[in-house]
Every structure is written in structure tokens, then in C-alpha cells.
Amino acid sequence: MRSSLALGALAAALLAAVSVPAAAQTHIEVQGGRSYMDSYGTNAFFVEAVFDPRAMGQSRFTWSPDVSLGYIEGRDIGRYRDSHPGVTNDVWVGALGARLHYGSDGDWYHPFFFSFQVAGTAGGRTQALSSGYEFVSTLGWQYKNVSFQVRHISNGSFKEPNRGETMALVGIGFDI
């Protein structure tokens, strides 16, 4: 119940991102790819909003608020059929955090980013995502309207089992 409430709040925040005034710089992205638990793959989809970058003091780092809503399909794996939790549940993930960049817009390395988010899950538990809270780490490259990223979602071993989901995603986005 608590995770459903948190997921609803994050979904509302994501929808609010669409209504941000045009003066603010917001990047909306639709991402898809394969997610793996151990060596078992499934489909994963995300919608992500990255807001206006902010300087971190006098450094060359910038950070941007980052909100995402994702869906990871369940799997049918024989060795986990009698496990609790199993692996067949589809899981919704709502996350909120920050995306970090280094350098100026013209630097060759500026499109690379790292993001960290705190997430809530809904739709059931799996061997990979066994709690209502998870942590999301993403390493990626975004250039204008295209991104490539590797994302890992895990609860940090606060609750077992904790196999985690590791995914490769491709994103298409636009600025509003």
C-alpha cells in the first residue's frame, strides 16, 4: 500500500513536469531495452523527465532533478517457479533523484552523465526487486534527442533476495 502511494506521488510529479512553464528547460525521454536478472532477460520501458541543470558551487559539475516512471516485465523461469517471491510479476518503478554532468556544453565529455535515484515499486515483488523501495544508478550518454544508458536497480541488500535488475536502454527525447 505504501509503495502504491509513493508510486502515485511520483507519477503525479512526472505528469506535473509536462506542465512546467516553457521558460524552464525540461527534457522528456522515452526509453526501452532489455533488463537482466542473473542472465535472464526481459523487456523494460521508462519515461524520464530531466529538469533545468543547476551549478554545484564553483565546480564544473551540474546537477538536474530527475524523475522517472518505468515498467519491467516478469519472466517465466523454471528454477524460480516455487520461489517466494517469484519472477513472474510485472513491476512498476517510480523514481526521483539527480542527474550529474561534468564540464561545459561544448566539451566532448559533457554528454556523459551519472544519475542516482530513490525508487518505489508497485505491482508485486520479484527475486530481483524484492522490496517496496529500491535504488537506481544510471551511467549514460545523451546527445540532443538520443541517449544510451546502463541502469541498475537494487535495494542495496536491505532485504533479501536482492538479485537486482541491470538493463541497457536506448532513449528518444525532446525538450519542452
Q: In whole angstroms, what is the distance from residue 120 CA to residue 83 CA?
A: 22
6: closest CA among 128, 90, 131, 162?
131
What pLDDT, on a 0 to 100 scale, did the predictor assign at position 16?
52
What is the pLDDT, as a whole number, of residue 25? 87
For residue 105, give the CATH number of its domain: 2.40.160.20
DSSP bridge pairs for 121: 93
Confidence (pLDDT) at 19 = 47
Instruction: Count the domains in the chain.
Output: 1
- What is the model's pLDDT at position 33? 98
Contact at 8 Å (CB) between 153 and 164? yes
What is the torsion angle, in degrees rounded to the nearest 10, for the CA atoms of residue 57, residue 60, residue 66 and residue 70? -150
pLDDT at 57: 95
| 132, amino acid identity | G
pTM of the model: 0.85
DSSP annotation of 144: T
Exposure string of 79-92, with b = 16+ CB inside 10 Å and e = fewer, is ebeeeebbbebebb
Distance (Å, whole) CA 149 – CA 157: 23
pLDDT on residue 13: 52
Report the length, in residues, of the chain.
Answer: 176
* Domain housing 94: 2-175
One digit per residue, the tens of pLDDT, for the chain of length 176 reads 444 545 555 555 555 544 444 446 899 999 999 999 999 999 999 999 999 999 999 999 999 999 999 999 999 999 998 898 999 999 999 999 999 999 999 999 999 999 999 999 999 899 999 999 999 999 999 999 999 999 999 999 988 999 999 999 999 999 99
pLDDT at 23: 44
pLDDT of 27 reads: 96
